[in-house]
Amino acid sequence: MLYYRAPARQFSVTGWKPYLLLGLTLSVIYALVLSAGLALYRDHLKEDVAQRQQDAEVVLLQRQKTEDLVALVSRYTPLLEGSAKYSNLLMFLSEQLPAGTELRRSQLNENVAVIQGIAPSATEVLAQLGKSPLITEARFDRPVQAERDAESFTISFIFNSLEVKDAGN
């Protein structure tokens, strides 16, 4: 009596185990390599970030110090810039006032100047001052008075000393 003896079944029972084992082994090796690689990469990143954070903290600290220094210097700068406005005013007046003018009193507070004196013509003094671009709002503070052969005047004006410095440069 003939019957079909299935060789495939015998092959499947005895032949798939090595492949399964091989597959499992390769899977485990893949998983281990992947896991180790991932863990190493993560640790490397972590160290790198920690190092960069440390550097960044140093940079921030340095930036803070620089900003403090900038603030300190900038507090002094305005006072240093308006350096010679009082002597500039005197120089300016000695050059600009018409001949024969004699100053009896000059005062400068911030940018507001007041001068008192006598001149052959007080109007000429005011006109001369008014011509200068360094002076604004020049006017007589008190009425002009005749005094011997001259006129006594009190003039106030705003003196832009910064422009004197620029003009000098």
Partner 1 sequence: MQEIKPWHKLSLLVIAIMVLLKFVLLPWQQWLLNNAEQIAYYKGLQSKLQNTQLRADTLKQQNEVIVADYQQLMTKLLPASSDNNIDVLRYVESKAKQYHLKINNRAVGDLQQAPLPALPITITLQGHPEMILAYLQDVETGTPKVVISNMSIIKPGLSVQFVNMRLDAIVLLAPAEGETAI
How far, in Å, CA of 109 to CA of 121, rounded? 26
Q: Which stretch binds partner 1 (CB under 8 A): 3-11, 74-82, 119-127, 130-138?
A: 74-82
Instruction: Out of 26, 29, 69, 167, name the contact with partner 1 by CB under 8 A.
Output: 69
Residue 86 interacts with partner 1 (CB under 8 A): yes or no: yes
Give the number of other Cβ atoms within 10 Å of residue 153's Cβ.
Answer: 24
Closest distance to partner 1 from the beta carbon of 149 (Å): 12
* Dihedral sign for Cα atoms in the order 156, 158, 162, 168: negative
Q: Is 55 helix (H, G, I), strand (E, B) or coil?
A: helix
CB closer to partner 1, 45 vs 127:
45
Neighbour-count burial for 74-109, b at 16+ CB within 10 Å, e otherwise: eeeeeeeeeeebeebbeebbeeebeeebeeeeeebe
Show the site string, 131-160: x = touches partner 1 by CB under 8 A, - = not: ------------------------------
In the region spanning residues 28 to 67, those forming contacts with partner 1, defined by CB under 8 A, are 31, 34-35, 38-39, 41-42, 45-46, 48-49, 52-53, 55-56, 58-59, 62-63, 65-66
Structure tokens at 4: 């079909």
Q: What is the CA radius of gyration of the chain?
A: 47
Q: Which of 91, 127, 158, 167 binds partner 1 (CB under 8 A)?
A: 91
* Whether 117 contacts 102, CB under 8 Å: yes
Q: Looking only at Cα atoms, what is the longest distance across the chain?
A: 163
User: Of the candidates 29, 90, 127, 167, which one interacts with partner 1 according to CB under 8 A?
Assistant: 90
Q: Kindly list the residues in this chain that would bind partner 1 in the complex (CB under 8 A).
A: 31, 34-35, 38-39, 41-42, 45-46, 48-49, 52-53, 55-56, 58-59, 62-63, 65-66, 68-70, 72-73, 75-76, 79-80, 82-87, 90-91, 94, 102-110
